[in-house]
Amino acid sequence: MSIVSAMSSFDGRIRRRTYWLASTLWMLAYCIVTIALIEHVSDGRWLDEAYGTELKSGRDMGFVSLIAGIAFLYPGLTIAWQRLHDMDWTGAWYLPVAALAIAYGVLQVAGLTGSLDQETLLGKTFFYAMLGAQLLSIVVLGFVPGTDGDNQHGANPRAGDRDM
């Protein structure tokens, strides 16, 4: 399965190599779009030291992260969904991970996470829950081998060759 297919459909299975390539491309595109949005929101002042203190409120960053996150939600979900299919799991197992990330972005925009210097307990709780869920998902999706042979989600994506 191609990387583009991995980012555009919830059907089928992808192997670990495709997961890593698609995830790397997805993250690179996400970072580029996020930086472009920060540049736009800050009118080009985001690298100025004085403006950096304004960004510490977290609201600008939360807004930018939330907008970019929503824009990149679909391809991120499809990559994880298909990788979970390769392990013969339902893709819905990834929904709590995505929900935590979206909830944290909403809390940032609402100003409920505090600032970068002084984060609230709610902000810290959601941040570390989100970070833990993301790290666990990277380990599971990136390192756990898929099921051998065909499964209920489709043909073996590794048929005829060896995975990493």
Parse the chain into domains and list their residue ranges. 3-143
Q: Note down pLDDT in tens along the chain; length 164 residues.
A: 688 888 999 999 999 999 999 999 999 999 999 888 888 877 777 666 655 555 555 667 778 888 898 999 999 999 999 999 999 999 999 999 999 999 988 888 888 887 767 789 999 999 999 999 999 999 999 999 999 999 999 999 988 665 44
Q: CA-to-CA distance for 108 and 97, rounded, in angstroms?
A: 17
Secondary structure of residue 90 in the 3-state scheme = coil
How far apart CA 84 and CA 73 sit, in angstroms, is 16
pLDDT on residue 1: 65
Question: What pLDDT is stored for residue 164 in this prediction?
Answer: 45
Concatenated DSSP letters for 67-132? Answer: HHHHHTHHHHHHHHHHHHHHTT--GGGGHHHHHHHHHHHHHHHTT-SB-SSSB-HHHHHHHHHHHH
- For the whole model, what pTM was predicted? 0.86
Q: What is the pLDDT of residue 49?
A: 62
